[in-house]
Structure 1
């Protein structure tokens, strides 16, 4: 293997170690995977507008002071913010990492969670929008196969 290949393997392995996607997070939630805590890092107005069911609301600015009261010992944290045009989940993941938590950033954020047709909770309850065929297969139960 060349040096370039070795560096590429290290790069992509590191990405998979510290990043996840909405489909994998949804699968973990549905399976009841123990120890996974999904953190919504957005502000109060954004949280009220809609969020991932079972997510914990902890805006980035509060992570340093509130993480210990919100995250059970031994948990793995997954952070999300609005979407790919926002680096709020990255900043939040950095704060958790500084505190010593195992953490992943959820790529796509809330936007892609909604676009893939996964459930959203707001003050009216839980609902889902139709799947956006630019982000996921429209057929019920179909996966992208990646």
Structure 2
């Protein structure tokens, strides 16, 4: 018997509801980069990491608002009602999720950038520091077509 199919896949209606719902809560580095590159606005990107992490490198154009400060400072940094995309280190870190929760509690429409800074850099996307903007080579297993998975 198949280990994969030991629990059968969901029926169509359930699968559509699940995956559509998931996309309402998540975006990824490639989609964020595409919007930034095309100058598409209407949302704000929030880096929820520590000051030291921010200084080490962040997504150009992101706002720095550590998770623990969202409740107290969000209204002074992000206009009410503006959609927010949060990120933290990466898949093994839930800081972006915690920040998204805090924004949601405040009434902001919010998504989390899955993969966080780790996958942003692994895709070879630009990183900003006090010294300027740099770009490292993409990880060929993460972004085999260059800077995106073309999905």
| TM-score above 0.5 | yes
* Number of the residue aligned with 1:11: 18
Larger radius of gyration: 2
RMSD: 1.4
2:108 maps to 1:118: no
Q: Deviations over 1:92-127 (max 9, x none)?
A: 111111111111000110000001011001121100
Unaligned runs of 5+ in 1: none
Unaligned runs of 5+ in 2: 1-9
- 1:25 deviation in Å? 0.3
* Number of the residue aligned with 1:31: 38
Runs of 4+ residues deviating >3 angstroms: none
After the TM superposition, which residues 1-146 of structure 1 pair with which residues of structure 2 at under 5 Å, given as runs?
4-139=11-146, 143-146=148-151
- 1:20 deviation in Å? 0.2
Distance 1:103 1:113 in 2: 19
Output the TM-score relative to the length of structure 1: 0.91
Distance 2:92 2:71 in 1: 24
Counting matched residue pairs gives 142
